[in-house]
Amino acid sequence: MRWWRAIFEKLRADIRLAMICLLGALAAITILPFAALRAANGQWTAVVIDVLVVAVIAGNALFAWRTGRTRLAGSTVVVLVTIGCVGIQVALGLEGLLWVYTVMIANFMLGPRLLAMAANLALMASPFLLPAGFPAPDAQATFLATAALVTLYGFIFSWLVAFHHSQMEALATRDALTGTANRRVMETEVPQAVATHHSRRLPAGLAVLDLDHFKLVNDQHGHDAGDRVLVAFAEILRRNLRKSDRLYRFGGEEFAVLFPATDRDGVEVVLEKLLQRIREELRGPSGPVRASIGAAMLTGDDDWSSWMMRADGALYQAKRTGRDRICIEGDRRCSPERCAGSA
């Protein structure tokens, strides 16, 4: 039963993939019997459309499952199923209109909201463009009102789902105090970076930053004052890092920075700048607050925890040799006498 569990876990991790696969299964179960019925009645155009719709939805589900490109697969299904729904109206007349509501809801579950909105507007207009048209003005008004309501509910529902999803994602991945990525994200991204940099033979750096004598700020001025210093510290780091660098808060007053595709000189330049900005800008209630920085470059033997341990060891050196400085592992300057950035 392990394969069954693996499928369940994969679907649980990606709601859009789950929707696409669910629609694929439901489309086959619900549409194919109609195709058989229509074949028995000799409605061959409708049969072809039904089979095509099922094939497209099932094919897309397979594509999404294999490639993980669920946004593209979802958008494709929206466009093709909407076209199929219009085709069924052409083939069956008003009977085909009964499928419109199902497709309108499915569009919001599968595709981006704006695309679903556009597809639903097209579905609302389509019966008026058919040769047979609507028989009575009352029926036209009823159709427009009900289709507009379904579209509105679908829009609101999909917006709410996206909103709650982004809030839950923020809760799971952001540090609540400083807004930086948290330890959980670091433990996902750094191993990925190790694998990527090893396979592409690219250099990468990892730095650990820790405030100096931060306990004193808490002890003398309280936890709230300490929190404000932490927020200011994170803000200085964020402002002075490059877009490609990744900042994490992984402990109380400990932050880490991943420098992808960066060599040792590049890492050193950025860290020197950070240290300078911290010296110039970081203030606590009783004056400047300083930080120590340790860093290590990725080596061929590293996994992420050994890399982290080496960066942490360099931080320990920076603390041991007087704080308010940078130590990059392996650098002979990173000795008690001469640490980079020592004041």
Q: Which residues bind ligand GTP (CB under 6 A)?
A: 177, 210-215, 218, 223, 226-227, 230, 252-253, 319, 323
- Considering the complex, what minimum distance in angstroms separates the CB of residue 210 from ligand GTP? 5
Cβ(92)–Cβ(43) under 8 Å? Answer: yes
**Cβ-based nearer residue to ligand GTP, 231 or 309:** 231
Rounded CA separation 93/127 (Å):
9
Q: What minimum distance in Å lies between the beta carbon of 288 and ligand GTP?
A: 14
SS3 328: strand
**Total Cβ atoms within 10 A of residue 81:** 24
Q: Measured between alpha carbons, how far is 295 from 239 in angstroms, rounded to an integer? A: 19
Complex with ligand GTP: residue 146 or 218, whichever CB lies closer: 218
Q: Please confirm, yes or no, whether 329 is among the known catalytic residues.
A: no
Distance, in Å, from the CA atom of 2 to the CA atom of 5, rounded to the nearest integer, reads: 5
Whether residue 213 contacts residue 221, with contact meaning beta carbons closer than 8 Å, is answered with no
Between 150 and 234, name the residue whose CB sits nearer to ligand GTP: 234
| Shortest reach from residue 253's CB to ligand GTP, in Å | 4
At its nearest, how many Å lie between ligand GTP and the CB of residue 229?
A: 7
Q: b vs e for 43-70, b when ≥16 Cβ sit within 10 Å of the residue's Cβ?
A: beebbebbeebbebbbebbebbbeeeeb
Check if the beta carbon of residue 257 is closer than 8 Å to that of residue 323. no
Residue among 253, 272, 281, 329 flagged as catalytic: 253
Active site residue ranges: 253
